[in-house]
Structure 1
Amino acid sequence: MGDVALHNGIFQPDPARQVAFRCNVCGVQNVCSGDRIGRETASCDGCGSTVRMRSIIHLLSTALWGRSMPLPEFPQDKGIVGKGLSDWIGYADRLAEKFSYTNTFYHQEPRLDIENVTEEQKGTCDFLISTDVFEHTLGPALKAFVGAYELLKPGGSLIFTVPFTLDAETVEHYPQLTDFTIATLGGKYFVIGQTAAGAYELYHEPVFHGGPGQTLEMRVFCRKAVEAHLRDAGFTEVLVLERSEPECGVLLTENWSLPILARKPL
C-alpha cells in the first residue's frame, strides 16, 4: 500500500496501478485496479462494499473503541444498542450479530421517523448510522439532525454521510412545502406539494436517488451547513474524515461528501 497515490489524504485513481486492501466489512483481502475505487463503486470482491460503506465501519469502530478494526473482529456486545436508517444489508446483518442493532425504515417495520422521534425512542442508542438519508427528509433540514441527537444516549455517536458540496449555501429544492406526493404524466415525474398556507405547487424534473418515491432529493447540502446543523442540534464533537485509511479500503477520492463522526456530550 505504500505506493498508493494520495494528495492531502485524497486518493488519486489510476487504472494502471493495483491497489491492495483488506475490506473492513467482510475481512476479504482485495487487489484491484485504481479505477475501481470510488465513493459509490463496488470494489470489494467479497461483499461488494464501496468506499462509503467501509468508511462507516471505520468510523463506527473508532467511535466504540478508539481504533479502526474490521467488522468481523468487533467484540460481540449485546449491551451496545444501535440503529441504522435504511442501512446497507452488507453490514446491517453483521452488526445485528455483534450488537443489539436494528435496521429501521421510514415506510416499513421496524419504523423510525428521524424527524419525529418518539418519547420512547429518545436516549436509547449508543450509536446511530445514517448514510445518505438526510438529503431526502422533508425538512426543515435541522429537524432530522435534532432527531438524531435525541435518539442517542449521552456520549452516543452519530456515524453520518450525506452528499454535500463546498459551496457557500445549501440548495433547498422545496423549502416551502409541508407535504408532497409524486405524480406521473406522459412518462414524466412531477412533485405536487402543499405549503403551510394550504396552497398547492407543481414542480417539474425532480431528482431521485435510486428510483422514484421517498428517494426524492429535497436538497443539496453544503459542508458548512452540515457542520452547523450538527452543532445546532447539540453535538459538541464533530469529526470530518478528511484523510484516507488505505489499509481498510477507505480511499477517499474527493474532498466533498466526506463521512462524519459526531458525538453527543456526556
Structure 2
Amino acid sequence: MKPALKHFFDSMGAYLARPGPESLERLYSEHPGWDAPRERVALYGDFIRGHVRGALEKVFPLVRGAVGPDAWGALVEGYTLTRPARHHELNHLAEGFPAFLADAAASNGLAPFVPALARFEWTDFAVFTSEAPSPEPVARLTANPTLAVLEHPFRLCAYVRAKGALAKPEAGEEVALVWRHPEQLVTFYVEATPPALLVLKMAVEGLSMEDVAAATGMSVEALRSAVERCARDGLVLRPSASGG
C-alpha cells in the first residue's frame, strides 16, 4: 500500500473510532484538498459505530445483561476505540470482544465470569454460522465438524440455559461442548460428561465399540446407547446403515 493511501486509511480509522466534529475537522486537515461532503462522512462514521454496537448487542445479550447498561456502554465505547470495524462481515465486528473483556476485566471491575461468558457467547455464534460442511454420508463414526470445546472455571452451561435468570454462574471447572445440529441447524451445548467424551474419543480415534467396551468395562449395550444418544443430538455422525 502506498504511504499516502495508508495514511488516509489510518486517519480514517482514527476518526471512525471516535467520530465527532473535532475529529472530523482533524481528518480533513490531514488531507488538504479532499472534498468529500462532511455530512456524508459524518453519517458514515455514525453508521460504522452503529454497526459495531449492533453486532455486540446481537452476539452478547447475556454479557450485556450481566454487566448492566452503564458498564455496557463504557465497554462498547472502549472496544470501539480498538478499531474493530474492519471485517467485511458485520457480525464479525464482535469477534475480538471476548479478548478485549479479558484484558479490560480488572480495570473495569467486571465480575470474573464475564470474559468467559463472552467467549461462550461468541463461540455459540461462530458455531451457528460455521461454514464447515457435514461429511455425509460418513463411512464411520465421526465427530460433528462444527464442534468447539471450551474450558472455564464456571458452570456456564447452566447459566446460559437459564438465559441470565441466575445472578451469576456457580464456580467450578467445566468443559463445555458446543456444536450445530446437522439437521436442525441450531446450536447445542452441554457440559461434557464421561460418556460423551468417550463417544467422541471413539469417533476421533476410530475405535470399535467392542474394543472400547473391553477397555473400559462398559457393556456394549450401554456404549451403544451412549452412541445413539450422541448421534441423535448431532454431537457425532453415524453411517446410516449401522449403529457405528
TM-score (structure 1 length as normaliser) = 0.24
Structure with a larger share of its residues in helix: 2
Structure with a larger share of its residues in strand: 1
Relative contact order, higher structure (CA 8 A, sep 6+): 1
Greater radius of gyration (CA):
2
